[in-house]
Structure 1
Amino acid sequence: MHITNLISQYFGKFAKKEFPSFFQSIINNIYVKSFHLDMSEFRNPKYYKSLNDLFTRELAIQREIELDDDLIISPTDSLITECGALKKDTLLQIKGMEYNVEELLTYHVKKDNLEKVIDGSFMNFYLSPKDYHRYHAPCDFNVSKLIHVPGKLYPVNLKYLNKEIDLFCQNERVILECIDKNKKLFYMVFVGALNVGQMVFEFESAVETNVDAKEIKVYEYEDLNIKKGECLGYFKMGSTVVMIWEKGSIKLKNLTNQKILFGSSISKK
């Protein structure tokens, strides 16, 4: 087991421990103040029984989302670290750090589907420790496959993105293969990171991340339909989502280095 996985497992044990309410309230408030969490859409910090509860908090008020069927919404509250077009079969981890789409998605993706995303579009969503950690559906779509890839748990902050080659391909990740209402292909790649105890998917309880696993697991679905805005699951701590779209299927806004919220549009007609 890599040291990053071991550290994350120990941190995960601490984060899920429920201390007496008085002490837990102190811990929660320290976390909120240290990372400058905006709790205006959530419950009072003392409500949460553990750090995990606070990390994975649900919205206490309904977030307005872009309802236009032709527009794609951000699946997360995050910083867009990179976005744009793939150069044939390569995309950017961050400026100056390229990696291969097949290495990211693995050989469990059919060759025909890999060819569809050549020269396609991509966007990287970085969730910091202060962000809302749940991820949602960017549009109406059908999940055809889930691929769980065990790996390391390097940090995914800007410092590490700039120095660790192929970081997204080294880290543990969960890949969703998706088909939208126009029969166009896209992928959502959920990348684990240091101190991320788990990545949880509400439609697939069999997925267990940050355990001592070595083999890739693949889950296939016949009729798993997801609605735009629906909660897919959550990170236990901050991390990254990479989205990749079939060539010609989307017109992305240039949002690099911009902070965006779940529900806001990331595409244009």
Structure 2
Amino acid sequence: MLDRIKLGLNYLLPKKWLTELAGWGASKRAGWLTKAVIDSFVWFYKVDMSEAQKADTATYRTFNDFFVRPLRDDVRPIDTDPNLLVLPADGAISQLGHIDGDNIFQAKGHHYTLEALLAGNYQMADQFRDGEFVTTYLAPRDYHRVHMPCNGILREMIYVPGDLFSVNPLTAQNVPNLFARNERVICYFDTEFGPMAQILVGATIVGSIETAWSGTVTPPRTGVIKRWTWPGADEDGSVVLLKGQEMGRFKLGS
């Protein structure tokens, strides 16, 4: 019954308005109140602050500063083997495996297509047919920065407008096409392993997406898809990121 109520609220609540409100509050410097909210969050979600560069919650000026807190350099060592990929996010792998032609497995009874996920970009989708995928779930307590699984040259970024359903095991199992209907930012790279797309999917409350090369990806209010492109590695203006380097992060707001 509780799960049905949670799912119903996902459809009924004004998700974008709530997300904008959360972002407004999370960006405010409110002194003791900010610290009290952070301390309550740490206690409720059992956040391990010993892994953070700044373990003292009083050092964070805003809630968003805390939410995107960097980790100590020694807590997540990067495997230097050039033949291995590293997990780009510090969360739980919810799904991984082979892309069956055009179909990606979401949860039991649910699939979505490459074309839908990539906002109808058929040329890009063709490069990933019968490829491999990993879906990583970041819980509220997790580190909310995203890193490179290997060296990569950024070639294209696509902002895709959409909904802001919660992204968790419950919604993945019950909301059709969840990752292809939520607001997201597609980052396309050339790598030594071939083409790679890292897709940052927004969610209720946590809908603000930043990248290392452009900061906050500000969506056009007209609700249209927006694309940016970059040159190759040897050209002026290229963006080259190394394995383990931060490429993006999630914040409260939209």
TM-score (norm 2): 0.86
1:150 matched to 2:166? The reply is no
The AA in structure 1 aligned to 2:93 is I
Q: Per-residue CA shift, 1:174-215, capped at 9, x if unaligned?
A: 001111124x11111110000014101120137215x74401
The AA in structure 1 aligned to 2:195 is L
Q: Per-residue CA shift, 1:136-177, capped at 9, x if unaligned?
A: 111001111000001110000111111111111110000011
The AA in structure 2 aligned to 1:214 is G
Unaligned runs of 5+ in 2: 1-12, 232-237
Indicate which of 75, 86, 89 corresponds to 2:102: 89
Cα distance in 2, alignment partners of residues 68 and 61 from structure 1:
18
| Superposition deviation, residue 24 in structure 1 | 2.2
Percent identical among aligned pairs is 31
Corresponding residue for residue 225 of structure 2: 216
Indicate which of 217, 235, 256 corresponds to 2:250: 235
Unaligned runs of 5+ in 1: 239-269
The AA in structure 1 aligned to 2:82 is D
With CA pairs under 8 Å and 6+ residues apart, which has the higher RCO, 1 or 2?
A: 1
| Superposition deviation, residue 94 in structure 1 | 1.9
Instruction: Say which structure is richer in helix.
Output: 2
Corresponding residue for residue 8 of structure 1: 19
Does the 8 A contact of 2:189 with 2:195 survive in 1?
A: yes
Cα distance in 2, alignment partners of residues 197 and 16 from structure 1:
14
Q: SS of the residue aligned with 2:51?
A: coil
Corresponding residue for residue 264 of structure 1: none
1:35 matched to 2:35? The reply is no
Q: SS of the residue aligned with 1:156?
A: coil
Q: SS of the residue aligned with 2:199?
A: strand
Cα distance in 1, alignment partners of residues 204 and 46 from structure 2:
20
1:52 matched to 2:61? The reply is no
1:75 matched to 2:116? The reply is no
Q: Spell out the pairing of 1:108-257 with structure 2 (5 A cutoff).
A: 108=121, 110=123, 113-182=124-193, 184-205=194-215, 207-209=217-219, 212-222=221-231, 223-237=238-252
Cα distance in 2, alignment partners of residues 76 and 176 from structure 1:
15
Q: SS of the residue aligned with 2:243?
A: coil
The AA in structure 2 aligned to 1:227 is L
Moved over 4 A (4+): none
Indicate which of 23, 48, 53 corresponds to 2:33: 23
| Superposition deviation, residue 16 in structure 1 | 1.2
Does the 8 A contact of 2:22 with 2:252 survive in 1?
A: no
Judge which range, 26-35 or 100-109, deviates more. 100-109
User: How many pairs does the alignment contain?
Assistant: 232
TM-score (norm 1): 0.82
Query: Measured at CA, do residues 70 and 104 of structure 1 come closer, stay the same or move farther in structure 2, by a change above 3 Å?
Result: same
Query: Measured at CA, do residues 107 and 163 of structure 1 come closer, stay the same or move farther in structure 2, by a change above 3 Å?
Result: same
Query: Measured at CA, do residues 11 and 237 of structure 1 come closer, stay the same or move farther in structure 2, by a change above 3 Å?
Result: closer
The AA in structure 2 aligned to 1:89 is D
The AA in structure 2 aligned to 1:119 is D
Cα distance in 1, alignment partners of residues 109 and 88 from structure 2:
25
